[in-house]
A and B are shown apart, each in its own frame.
Chain A
Amino acid sequence: MGAQLRLLRRRIKSVKSTAKITRAQELIASSRIVKAQQRMHAAVPYEREITHAVSAVLSNTSSVDHPLTVAKEQPATAGVLIVTSDRGFCGGFNANVLREAEALKAHLSGRGLEVKPFVVGRKGITWHRFRSREMSGEWDGFSDNPSYGHAKEIADALISSFKEADGIDEIHVVYTEFVSMLTQEVVVKRILPLEVEETEATPETVMPYYEFEPTAGDVLDSLLPRYIESRIFNALLQSAASEHAARRRAMKSATDNANELISVFTRQMNQARQAEITQEISEIVGGANALADAAAGKE
């Protein structure tokens, strides 16, 4: 009996310390979500303006023959940028992204394309290494706080591979979109060849006739890479915010579970202690009775 009591005490202690850790993680994640969301919002004006500018150029020049916008006739390879997190403790966050990436890979292979993964985030990288799959590019160390420089680095690698004659012909990106605090969704988007997304597009508005400095082609040349960088930056920021939200949720349910376990164990421990006391009392009473009976027998 005493052994069981000791065992329960030890378990309660260990669960309590785990709960402390998960609770701390939860609090850290909630404070970082706010920051990540602010960064996401801060990036919106630039994104809106650059999307507007790209649509303006594309609508002004009737025949755009830019290598970045034209789909190759016979695409042979596709690059897939997979955005995962560096750290775990975030529930199904990485598993969801990787599952979606696998589905995309199957889909692309079905079209006869060879798939080259470009992976962001340590979790995604180890996932690929463990399966000894070759990666065309890997970046880690910034998943929870990406800067524009990181997005530029990734975009440069993707664009240069895209421009190579035997490089990739399509670029897709798989990341987690931050819909709200409670919902994050894994999305798959094609970034090259370019499909310009006008976020708040109204088809009636006619683009003004722009003058270009120096020429439309030159403007497009420098505009398109910036646009792709901004799309990738957006994906990184969304993914960072989602990571924190996923971590907060996972850690919250872990803390809740731990607290529930603690109360169950406490009840069991009290029961065991009560049982022990009851037994001791009945032993004492039994012993006393036996002594009294023996004394009565003598008389």
Chain B
Amino acid sequence: MAKLRVGVVSPEREIWSGEADMVIAKTVDGEIGIMPGHAPVLGVLVEGGVLRVKRDSESDLVAAVHGGFLSVADNDVSVLAEAAELGSEVDVAAAKDALQRAQASIEADQEDADARLEAKRAAARLRAAGEEV
């Protein structure tokens, strides 16, 4: 079966690239799963989403992806994230800490959009690291 060529890039560096069987990402319309032979798609990713790359031989690659785009054409999948982090690279303690701080400021001020964003990001990082949120 044909494989997908996947690249996960952020403005500062290339996070990961390689071959995969399936890519699952979350766009503003909802979750989207890409398998080889998918029609060309350009989607806007949500803030604080989790990207899952399924590979047959190895375990899934999971990354926290904040904002950005997903572009699929000709079995080439590129994920352009404003910021991204592999699940294995996440500092769980720091992310938990960030989540708690963000939640505290949300409780203090319901309108705090920055804190909400921060909470989303921290939650995504924790989910990418395999923690329950």
Show the binding face of A for B, using Cβ within 8 Å. Answer: 39, 42-43, 45-46, 49-50, 52-53, 56-57, 147-148, 151, 208-214, 218-219, 222-223, 226, 229-230, 233
By the criterion CB–CB under 8 Å, are B11 and A148 in contact? yes
Q: Which of A42, A151, A219 contacts B43 (CB 8 A)?
A: A219
By the criterion CB–CB under 8 Å, are A53 and B11 in contact? no
Q: Which parts of B36-51 form the interface with A (CB within 8 Å)?
A: 39-44
Interface string of B27-38 (1 = CB under 8 A from A): 111001000000
A-B pair count, CB < 8 Å, reads 88
Taken together as a complex, chains A and B put the C-alpha atoms of A211 and B29 apart, in Å, by 13
CB distance from A228 to the nearest CB of B (A): 12
Show the binding face of B for A, using Cβ within 8 Å. Answer: 7, 9-14, 17, 27-29, 32, 39-44, 68-71, 73-74, 78, 80, 82
Taken together as a complex, chains A and B put the C-alpha atoms of A50 and B12 apart, in Å, by 13
Given contacts A50-B80, A208-B73, A214-B29, contact A42 B14 (CB under 8 A): yes
Residues from chain B with Cβ under 8 Å of A57 in the complex: 42
By the criterion CB–CB under 8 Å, are B9 and A46 in contact? yes
Taken together as a complex, chains A and B put the C-alpha atoms of A243 and B9 apart, in Å, by 26
Having A46-B10, A148-B12, A208-B40, one finds 15 other A-B pairs with CB under 8 Å, namely A39-B12, A42-B13, A42-B14, A45-B14, A46-B14, A46-B80, A49-B7, A49-B9, A53-B71, A56-B40, A56-B71, A151-B11, A210-B73, A219-B42, A223-B69
Closest to A147 in B: B12
CB distance from A267 to the nearest CB of B (A): 52
By the criterion CB–CB under 8 Å, are A212 and B80 in contact? no
Taken together as a complex, chains A and B put the C-alpha atoms of A49 and B17 apart, in Å, by 13
Residues from chain A with Cβ under 8 Å of B39 in the complex: 211
Interface centre among B17, B32, B44 (most CB of A within 10 A): B44
CB distance from B4 to the nearest CB of A (A): 15
By the criterion CB–CB under 8 Å, are A53 and B69 in contact? yes
